[in-house]
Amino acid sequence: MKFRKGLLVGTAFLIAGVGLGSQLGQWSSFSNHSLVVQALAEEVKKDQTNADKSAETYRLLTLFGDVFERVRANYVEPVSDRDLITNALNGMLTGLDPHSSYMTEKQYHNMEIQTKGEFGGLGLEVQEEDGHIKVVSPIDGTPAARAGIKAGDYIIAIDGKNIDGTPLNTAVDKMRGKPNTPITLTLLRLKTPKPIKVTMTREIIHIQVIKSALYGKIGYIRISQFNEETEKGMLKAYDKLQKEAGGKLAGLIIDLRNDPGGLLDQAIAVSRDFIKEGAIVSTKARDPKENHRWNASGKDITNGLPIVVLTNGGSASASEIVSGALQDHRRAIILGGKTFGKGSVQSIMPIPGNGAIRLTIARYYTPSGRSIQGLGITPDIPVQDSYDEPEFSIREADLNHVIKNEGGNKEKPVIRNDLPAIATSIPKQPPKNWPKYDYSKPATDFQLQQGLKVVRSMAGLPVEKETPVPEIKPDPVTHPDVWKKDKPAAATPKPANENKPTDNKQQAPQTHQPAAH
């Protein structure tokens, strides 16, 4: 404590003592002095509190140093100081929430490659859950997708070696490898009594974020993730569909199923392409000065065409921003399953020479002020993808250390009265004899078929029964090299903030840890 403050506090106590010993009428003469007394007393108390906190921090850092030395000296095998510190940093961040983490220089580099559109591996988005490695979603057209790996599967072994309890980053490194090398994963799957073994060949994953197809006069655009190329690819795909339809496109389906999220600025850009005015998304941070709101920019590339958005439990983060904005503005009908429920924003903060940290810095809110954190977005027309079986079992609310749903509009959403009449006749699940879903055969995709029914009805077109539809191939406009090879490609993204500082890469909700690709 500085001497000047000590002197003033002493004087204050003296004045207060005189006041208390005088009659009530005399107290008013000291009123101004009493305000000074109160202010100074509070400042001293604050200094004392800060001093106590500093002392406690010092004691805790001493504890950390003691544990560090004991582990280094007594662990059964020698461990490098770097490994111990890296593990400690990981524990510090992952103990906060499921989406904060520390990345080594190598992991940070891999993440940058991933978000720019190309990386090597299997094509899996994974995250750690209770010491297990869980599949968030396979990426379209990759070895993992072609092998039939599903969202919600648990990876328990790699090449026959158990990985339970293995840190996520270590498991990811094991799954990566040189192209054309084999790898076998052992999986546990809901309602499957025995482990499933899947053998694949690693390959360079060309991230194909956008795919498109034309079903009659209805356009279909699949967004697999939100990376740096997403909006540009979507615009090219839309122009291509319009040309194929002779300029007479009647409606649009946007498929966000199993889209784990990505860059915030890309989610905002895609939403702005369909919403003419009003809010798109807002974020609230610890520091009110860091709160932001993004609005529409006065355009709708479709000029009001009817839109159906397909979602499921693997739709997270940036894909929830898009579906939430379109739903709140009544610009689209959401059909499928409830989304993942990740309503937080992460910022990538590089540490030169030592990797980076991914840190949760804000919550985001839909245009109506809803926080979907832990709740997800409920579809306007719920449709399961298979008969009597949940399409996705693990969501944000099931993870450890999830942040609370705070600061949002707590009122129940207004029931939509603008749904087409056909909405009441859409079945909530496929019939028991519905064929098993085959990625290469859209006619087996029950949610897609129901979406086509709805958007055709909205467009005033005849609604037919489910019939085989064209096979979806990579978009020749956005991925000419893949198209020439006639080989399916993949998809992957990342997140960012429209007002991001130059030294940070601000991520939007990416629902999970960087993928185990």
Write down the residue that tokens 């949940």 correspond to: 390
Asked if 316 and 339 touch (Cβ cutoff 8 Å), the reply is: yes
Q: Tokens for 316, please give them.
A: 């997270």
Instruction: Taking the CA atoms of 406, 409, 410 and 415 in sequence, report the sign of the dihedral they define.
Output: negative
Q: Taking Cα atoms as reference points, which of 437, 420, 215, 261 lies closest to residue 335?
A: 420
Are 89 and 358 in contact, with CB atoms under 8 Å apart? no
Residues sharing a CB contact under 8 Å with residue 346, sequence separation 6 or more, in sequence order = 99, 100, 358, 359, 360, 361, 495, 506, 507, 508, 509, 510
52 is catalytic: no
328 is catalytic: yes
Q: Which two tokens stand for residue 373?
A: 């954190």
What sign does the CA torsion over 292, 298, 302, 307 have? positive
End-to-end CA distance of the chain: 55
Q: Exactly one of 284, 342, 453, 494 is catalytic; name it.
A: 342
Q: Is 342 a catalytic residue?
A: yes
Contacts of 163 (CB under 8 A, 6+ apart): 133, 155, 156, 157, 170, 171, 174
Count CB neighbours of 357 within 10 A. Answer: 20
**What's the CA gap between 248 and 351, in Å, rounded?**
51
Tokens of 245: 């339809």
Instruction: Pick the catalytic residue from 97, 255, 259, 328.
Output: 328
Which string of DSSP letters, residue by residue, matches 108-152? HHHHHHHHHTEEEE--EEEEEETTEEEEEEEPTTSHHHHTT--TT
Q: Could you say which of 224, 317, 344, 371 is catalytic?
A: 317
State the Cα–Cα distance between residues 212 and 470, nearest whole angstrom: 11
Give the chain's radius of gyration (CA, Å): 28
Residues 6+ apart with CB under 8 A from 186: 155, 156, 157, 158, 160, 195, 196, 197, 198
Task: Confirm if 114 and 514 have CB atoms less than 8 A apart.
Answer: yes
The residues carrying an active-site annotation are 317, 328, 342
